[in-house]
Structure 1
Amino acid sequence: MSDVKEDQQEQQPREHSSARHADVAIIGAGPGGYSAALRSSELGKSVILIERDAVVGGTCLNRGCIPTKALITAVSAIGEAQHAQSLGINLELHGLDFGKLREHREHMVSTMTEGLSGLLKHRNIDVIQGEASIESVGTIHVTNESDTVEVTADDIIIATGSRPRPLPNLPFSHVILDSDHALTLDTFPSSAVIIGSGAIGLEFASLWNTAGCKVTLLARKDRVLSQWSKRSGVMLGRELKRQGVNVITKASCTGIDTGENLGATVHYTNGDGDNSSVEADVVLVAIGRDAATDADWFAKLGIETTDRGLISTDDLGQSSVRHIWAVGDITPGHQLAHRAFEQGITVAEAIAGLQPRPVNNDTIPQIVFSTPEAAAVGLTLQAAQDNDNYESVSETTIPLMSNARVLMTGQGGSLSVVTGCERSEPDTQLVLGAQIIGPHASEIIAEVEQLVGNHIALSDAARLIHPHPTFGEALGESLLKADGRPLHVR
């Protein structure tokens, strides 16, 4: 009889405050939050996962990685068809069915988020929907439309993520878009100005350009991907220009004029200090993302943050307040889903007392799903030269047009490998990093990550056999050249 009463109580809507306790409570169900939840549950901890959105997955699954790559993958068929015509395969493009494209994007998102929801349920992770605030160490208030829940936990993990950064004094609007809004457009714009030349800006530039949009991209520095090596940035910028993207470097936006249903005029200064302007249907602002740490309770708790609002942590993710941890975009480092995912696992294991290795930022790949793709891991030549731990540092570069499979795609690119010796072992050359511009760079970089992360000697790496003919064979050739044994390249 008591079981029946409990079931009846659970079926009633919660209208008043309630209380729940767990070993670990996590605020934010993006990659950092849900990986921490899954690993903590696997280690025998009771877990409460709190998410403000109606579905789990965070920006990555709902508004970032998954929907953008779904569209990029779909639209890439246009570029492939255009290249096929030059090979004697006659195809006709009868336009884009935006309804089906939208359904495809939404289906990919729902497939991933529903799968994640099922996994969390299977692991007995208690998911609460609502806005969370930490009232004191160990206590979280969660509010939603129908209830207020007080959650207590021995350890709290903050994974609140980030949001698109607007231009100073120019808020987002129906014409000045952030990446979230750009993904919800019913059609692709016929013309667009993209301000920013990082991963998000470059991916939208390739996506819209391939779909027939006239794209102008404003890069503040002398090249796109200014945080990467100059060679990589120049190479990718050249390839984008070859495909029709108007890339303007050393450009600083000075203002944007907008009107109702009239598009926008973007004013900017060029490298010579001259004033110029360009008109377009929409403007995408992709100048970075700000950490979601501006809620009052962060300051009240005394959590130490940087000037950019990022939470300072120790090597394992614990903040300046004991038993409060942070992962993902709110911590210093690359704002990448796979980094957050690994941080979540590390924090969960640290809480469980397993003493895991800290996340190594040098082994976190960076990928841009542009056309061609860009991928990097480890140290650039300059970073390796500036690092006192290494000596005999050098960079080896090969053009990817020497690779048969790349040549077949009609794309260009390059592959650079950075090598050097640790000062403690001056006779052993190691693979320290690599940067790739070319087709399938996102897949090839995973092998380099293994070489860098496992401190594989260059002589051993160069002996690994790559199947022929493949895109990955270019990496094998670059390693041979770095080892002083070039075969197909000079």
Structure 2
Amino acid sequence: MQNTHVDVAIIGGGPGGYATALRAGELGLSVALINREDRLGGTCLNRGCIPSKALITATRAIHNVRDAKRMGIDASIQNIDVAKLADFKNHAVKAMTDGLASLLAARKVTVIKGEASIVENHHVRVQIDQMQIEGGAFDEITADNIVVATGSRPRPLPGHRFEGPLIDSTQALDLPTLPKSAVIVGAGAVAVEFASMWNAAGVDVTLLIRHERVLSHMHRRTSMALTRALAKNGVHIITHSHLTDIDDSANSAGATVRYSSDKDKDATEHQIQADVVLAAIGRDPNTDADWFTSSGIELDEHGLVKTDDFGRTGQPGLWALGDITPGPALAYRAFEQGIVIAESIAGRDPKPVDDTTVPEVVFSTPEFASVGLTLEQAKAATDILEPQETAYPMMGNARMLMSGEAGSMSIVSGAYGDKPDTPVVLGVHMLAPDAGDLIAEAEQLVGNRVALSDAARLIHPHPTFSEAFGEALLKADGRPLHTR
């Protein structure tokens, strides 16, 4: 048994946990970061953001080769070496996780591998492999502050376990071979990204979605444009569908997926054969360990930890962040939550995370990106005056025209009640190549409440995709240049 006392003990080595550790260490606090896995980085670095984007980068190269014929270039894909593709993905993951370990060491963060639990106020017990610690299997840590960042896991389909051809996103990233056919159940970011990725690699992809469009919780016009773009690229999208059964009892590999559709008046059941079925219907918070209840952490009806705007739970010195808290389950939101918590612990006076300024990006082909309010949300807000939406025709942009991709650009503007004569940018929603990079400028405008007239005067280089955003701002400000 070893006993350690630190200023901050963090349970979970994902984006929120390690961001807290890095900032706390930078501020001179003593920090212990407890991670139950061999590698730091959590889902994002090991099973989510980084490996998936590595594969998306590779399969976009395939998409571009196939699109080259449109421009007069006769090229073809001879072979996809799945083993080398996996090496490319794994190299990206290793580079990021090794770099993270070096950063934590430089900030003098003590990293402990083991399974952590809160056993009493300000005490964390870590179950450690017997071979790692002489004289006992547990490490006892006391801390003035404990930060819980245990993350989330893929949500299974009701009544079905992840087994056989029914897989989750983690398993999908490690398939030894590309399937010939795949059914994806879901319409969110993970479902759409895998649909784009596999489709580009030549997989016959069917997407089962419950509503009329993918990303149904997002900006309507932009998500409808993405739905059409996916269909144009070859993804089979079955709207208004409801999964009824997955049967893998046949002798042959794969599964029979059965579903019904709201479009059928007689409740006809349809079926599809597929090599794999990816369930991508969301993620569940890792808050079901007994110590959450015994330590007095209060959960809401979704199993999420209740906190104030700064991450404080109802227990003194106990904080929570990331996927286990209400709000967008995004790595970069967790980064900022971690910074806010570390600075709060250190006695600084940080601003809390404003979820309306957190951008959402889907790395589909083309990319979807959104930040701020939709028109409906702006109209529902009591402190916003005269909200309006401006749509810009993206085909008026030279680079969009050259790309051959679908596009969409909408700006929501309006004035806040404390400055009724100064309209600002309230939200931006776009579909375009590199939209994930373009949204960063929009985030600055929305987050800093930049006056629309000032934003519209910013100059964008020509010809670029970003120029479309500049043109849209001009139109929103009542000064359209290359459009009516």
Q: Same fold (TM over 0.5)?
A: yes
* Matches of 2:107 and 2:27, distance apart in 1: 11
Tell me the residue number matched to 1:86. Answer: 70
Q: Which consecutive unaligned segments of at least 5 residues does structure 1 have? A: 1-16
Matched position secondary structure for 1:344? helix
Tell me the residue number matched to 1:180. Answer: 170
Q: 1:266 aligns with which of 257, 262, 272?
A: 257
Structure 2 contact 391–472 (Cα < 8 Å) conserved: yes
1:279 is displaced (CA, Å) by 1.2
Residue 415 (1) aligns with residue 409 (2): yes
Residue 277 (1) aligns with residue 268 (2): no
Matched position secondary structure for 1:104? helix
* Matches of 2:108 and 2:420, distance apart in 1: 51
* Matches of 1:381 and 1:395, distance apart in 2: 6
Matched position secondary structure for 1:356? coil
Matched position secondary structure for 1:39? helix
Q: Which moved more, 1:420-429 or 1:260-269?
A: 260-269
Residues 367-424 of structure 1: CA deviation (Å, up to 9, x unaligned): 0000010000000111111111101000011122211111111101110000011122
1:274 is displaced (CA, Å) by 3.1
1:197 is displaced (CA, Å) by 0.7
1:19 is displaced (CA, Å) by 1.2
Matched position secondary structure for 1:417? strand
Residue 257 (1) aligns with residue 225 (2): no
> Which residues of 2 match residues 410-489 of structure 1 at below 5 A?
410-489=404-483
Structure 1 contact 191–282 (Cα < 8 Å) conserved: yes
1:174 is displaced (CA, Å) by 2.5
* Matches of 2:268 and 2:224, distance apart in 1: 23
Residues 229-269 of structure 1: CA deviation (Å, up to 9, x unaligned): 22122110000000110011111111111136521111111
Tell me the residue number matched to 1:162. Answer: 152
Residues 146-189 of structure 1: CA deviation (Å, up to 9, x unaligned): 13100110000000000000011101013111000100101221
1:20 is displaced (CA, Å) by 1.2
* Matches of 2:392 and 2:19, distance apart in 1: 38
* Matches of 2:381 and 2:271, distance apart in 1: 42
Matched position secondary structure for 2:90? helix
Tell me the residue number matched to 2:49. Answer: 65
Tell me the residue number matched to 1:220. Answer: 210
Tell me the residue number matched to 2:133. Answer: none
Tell me the residue number matched to 1:401. Answer: 395
Q: Which moved more, 1:82-91 or 1:169-178?
A: 82-91
Paired residue type of 1:240: L
Structure 2 contact 150–287 (Cα < 8 Å) conserved: yes
Paired residue type of 1:268: Y
Tell me how large the CA RMSD over aligned residues is. Answer: 0.9
1:328 is displaced (CA, Å) by 0.3
Tell me the residue number matched to 1:14. Answer: none
Matched position secondary structure for 2:426? strand
Paired residue type of 1:179: S
Tell me the residue number matched to 2:120. Answer: 136
* Matches of 1:131 and 1:261, distance apart in 2: 40
Paired residue type of 1:209: N
Tell me the residue number matched to 2:299. Answer: 305
Structure 1 contact 24–155 (Cα < 8 Å) conserved: yes
* Matches of 1:40 and 1:274, distance apart in 2: 58
Q: Structure 1: which 4+ aligned runs deviate by more than 3 Å?
A: none
Paired residue type of 1:234: M
Q: Which moved more, 1:245-254 or 1:447-456?
A: 245-254
Tell me the residue number matched to 1:389. Answer: 383
Residues 94-148 of structure 1: CA deviation (Å, up to 9, x unaligned): 1101111010000000000000001111111100000000001110110122131
Residue 33 (1) aligns with residue 13 (2): no
Structure 2 contact 359–371 (Cα < 8 Å) conserved: yes
Residues 31-87 of structure 1: CA deviation (Å, up to 9, x unaligned): 100000010011110000000000101000000000000000011011111121221
Paired residue type of 1:24: V
Tell me the residue number matched to 2:39. Answer: 55
Tell me the residue number matched to 1:5. Answer: none
> Which residues of 2 match residues 199-238 of structure 1 at below 5 A?
199-238=189-228
* Matches of 1:486 and 1:449, distance apart in 2: 22
* Matches of 1:439 and 1:274, distance apart in 2: 39
Paired residue type of 1:358: P
* Matches of 2:268 and 2:346, distance apart in 1: 59
Tell me the residue number matched to 1:97. Answer: 81
* Matches of 2:164 and 2:37, distance apart in 1: 22
Tell me the residue number matched to 2:330. Answer: 336
Paired residue type of 1:26: I
What is the percentage of aligned positions where both structures have the same residue?
Answer: 54
Structure 1 contact 83–409 (Cα < 8 Å) conserved: no
Tell me the residue number matched to 1:6. Answer: none
* Matches of 1:174 and 1:365, distance apart in 2: 36
Q: Which moved more, 1:77-86 or 1:67-76?
A: 77-86
